[in-house]
Structure 1
Amino acid sequence: MTVQFGLFGVNLFTGAGAAGARHIAVLAEELGLESLWAVDRIVLPSGYETGYPYDESGKVMGGQEEFDVADPLVWLTFAAAVTVRIKLATGVAIPPLRNPVVLAKQVASLDALSAGRVLLGVGIGWLEEEYQAVGVPWSDRGRRLDDYVEALRALWRDTRATVHNGHVDFDNAISLPHPTGGSVPVVVSGNTPRAARRAARLGDGFFPAAKTPAELAPLLEILRTESQAAGGDPDAIEITVSYAGEPAALDPAADGFQNAFDDLSELSERFEKLGVARVLLPALPEHALRAVAEGLADRFGPA
């Protein structure tokens, strides 16, 4: 298996508008990238105190509070209409903040309209104030996610779905159309042992925020052990990681471009040896994305 490359954060900033969304979706497909990943942010309460776990500052976007983020499912539907091949992924949606029956309908509809190109990345999120704004309890978010995934899959699979668990309660619910392939792959995110165990139990894929192979390896060991203990096949769980280097360095106009590109390539090769299927690139300006994508295609082969 050769590692493939996707594009992350496509629905942010100028990508949230019609012209930017069309441009980035069409360009990514033209360049042979494998997937588009749209982030999820319903609201960012001003002055939030919850620490953002993926930056030393504890703040998302370096503390910037006001920036455009298009709804990921709406954005991916727009992208589906202007592309034909590229996969359409949430990176990641936060199901506990949504009604699972409505979410099942939205995701299945997008999958049917896009001829089976959807990947549903899911997570519990990190922002307690966002849960408060939506009116959802923060304390049971993990159990809520588990129960919602059960409901999603039942509604995608069964013509008359019945689910009774701690957070979902319905009988003989008909939700059509079903996804093109009978279901939608669920990619579980998170960078903790608990997330790895959840991916082993529930996931068709795992998307940890590991920056290096050394950070990833112990999570994959937990994933494999838990999957085997549950009678699953750990090799069937697709692994996705996101490149964590400085995006500005991947500009061919930058002095250190070649070193940054070599670092990206070598890091991707090391991830590939661990079984990673996909490395996500930042949403770069067109000239930079062209240079990076073409260089990666030369080194790893076309998608």
Structure 2
Amino acid sequence: MQVDAVAEFSANPLEVEAAALAAEADGYAGITVPETQHDALLALSLAARATERITLQTGIAVAFSRNPMTLAMQANDVQLVSGGRLELGLGSQVKAHIERRFGMPWSRPAARMEEFVSAVRAIWKCWETGERLRFEGEFYTHTLMTEFFDPGPNPHGNPPILLAAVGERMTEVAGRVSDGLLAHALTTESYLREVTFPALTRARGGSLDGFAVTLPVFSVLGVDPQARAKAEAGVRRQIAFYGSTPAYRPVLDHHGWGALAEKLNRLSRQQAWDEMATAIDDDVLAAFALAGTPAELAARIEERYGDLADRVSLYTPYDVDPELLTATAKHLRG
């Protein structure tokens, strides 16, 4: 099982560069960079210049805030700078952010994402082969590429595209048009086995050969009881935050926790964050998170997800000793 480091959600490009250097020195297979307060691909451009070995993953780049041409250009450049180490992780975000934060259109996200990825691949193929660009879809149309704007084939090939998905429809899209799935941290072993993997298998005609699954695992780590209690509180709070989002409700519904989803959503509108965290009882916590010493946590991740995930990262929404993360990663690598 490969283990990736994860940059802080608020990390600026210079901080991402430093985190990537540290991750490579600590033996991680790659680094994942979220896109919240800064542009993930810009940050990875710096990381690409500073490192030599690790993979560089956007986790995620927001697809619908861009168009296929701009994203194809950005990803092509990072792939070039990194010597072929980019993994382009894409996600849709949610309607409110796409329409109200980015001012971009939102409609039928699964169908739009399938076309978006197909358009990016068509643009890359045009640059790679010199064939005429002729992509005409329902949401995106790209029919002009002149020599002046054509960067030509990337000497390192095109990067793999990984798609973030939770619901069955987007998961099936991931199976049809991407090279891998970026599972959400708000998932469970049961949901992966009974919902996610059947959807992927249907979409891919029964075989997942060559298809990668990446999973962030809620992890409770601490050197003493006080630190572990703080870690557990941080994880409960983050589970509650995600659980309040309607897009992630299918996971809670799968476990019969629909009433909890409604309660969390209601409390989130009241900004009752502390009360939301207390709503996450021990059974819910145990379904989404794993805890222990570095050796224990690594063993539990392997036991629960060893036959499901190709790559994992440790999701720690609290202040954590980096040495504990590194030790856990070493145990996972064996």
Q: TM-score, normalised by structure 2?
A: 0.71
Q: Contact 1:11 / 1:75 at 8 angstroms: preserved in 2?
A: no
> Deviation of residue 170 (structure 1)?
2.4
Change beyond 3 A, Cα 1:214–1:141: closer
Q: Are 1:276 and 2:309 matched, yes or no?
A: yes
Structure 2 counterpart of 1:25, which letter? A
Structure 2 residue aligned with 1:16: 12
What code does the residue aligned with 1:208 have?
Answer: A
CA gap of 1:4–1:30, structure 2 versus 1, over 3 A, is: same
Alignment of 1:40-79 (within 5 A): 40-41=35-36, 69-79=37-47
Paired amino acid for 1:194: R
2:55 partner amino acid: K
Task: Return the letter of the residue paired with 2:12.
Answer: A
Q: Which residue of 2 aligns with 1:135?
A: 103
Q: Distance in 1 between matches of 2:210 and 2:18?
A: 33
Instruction: Check whether the contact 2:98–2:105 (CA below 8 A) recurs between aligned residues.
Output: no
**Does residue 29 of structure 1 match 2:47?**
no
**Counterpart residue number, 2:175:** 200
1:76-225 → structure 2 map (5 Å cutoff): 76-158=44-126, 159-160=130-131, 161-171=133-143, 173=145, 175-209=150-184, 210-218=186-194, 219-225=196-202
Identity of aligned residues (%): 22
Aligned partners of 2:222 and 2:320 also within 8 Å: no
Residue 36 of structure 1: CA displacement? 1.2
1:291 equivalent in structure 2: 324
Per residue, is there more helix in 1 or in 2?
Answer: 2
Question: Does structure 1 conserve the Cα–Cα contact (< 8 Å) formed by 2:214 and 2:312?
Answer: yes
In structure 2, C-alpha distance between the alignment counterparts of 1:299 and 1:164, rounded to whole Å: 45
Q: Which shifted more, 195-204 or 176-185?
A: 176-185
Structure 1 residue 129: Cα displacement: 3.6
Q: Is the 2:28–2:329 contact (alpha carbons within 8 Å) kept by the matching residues of 1?
A: no
Instruction: Tell me how large the CA RMSD over aligned residues is.
Output: 2.7
Greater than 6 Å deviation, 4+ residue runs: 283-287
**Helix, strand or coil at the partner of 1:36:** strand
Instruction: Name 1:4's counterpart in structure 2.
Output: 2
Q: 2:212 aligns with which of 238, 241, 245?
A: 238
**CA deviation after TM superposition for structure 1 residue 23, in Å:** 2.5
The amino acid of 1:76's aligned partner reads L
The offset of 1:262, in angstroms, is 4.4
Q: 1:197 to 1:263 in 2, by over 3 A?
A: farther
Q: Distance in 1 between matches of 2:144 and 2:166?
A: 36
For these two proteins, the number of residue pairs brought into alignment is 264
Secondary structure, aligned partner of 2:32:
strand
Once the two structures are superposed, what CA deviation does each residue of 1:83-104 show, in whole Å capped at 9, x if it has no partner? 1111111111121110211110
Note if contact 1:26-1:82 (Cα within 8 Å) is conserved in structure 2.
Answer: yes
Shift, 1:182, TM fit: 2.7
Summarize the Cα distance change of 1:196–1:130 in structure 2 as closer, same or farther, 3 Å threshold: closer
1:259 pairs with 2:275: no
Mapped partners of 1:242, 1:283: distance in 2: 9
**CA–CA distance in 1 between the matches of 2:113 and 2:173?**
10
> In structure 1, the residue corresponding to 2:327 is in which secondary structure?
helix
| 8 A contact 2:216–2:313 mirrored in 1 | yes
Q: Which runs of 5+ in 2 are unaligned?
A: 232-290
SS in 1 for 2:218: coil
CA contact (8 A) 2:98 2:106 kept: no
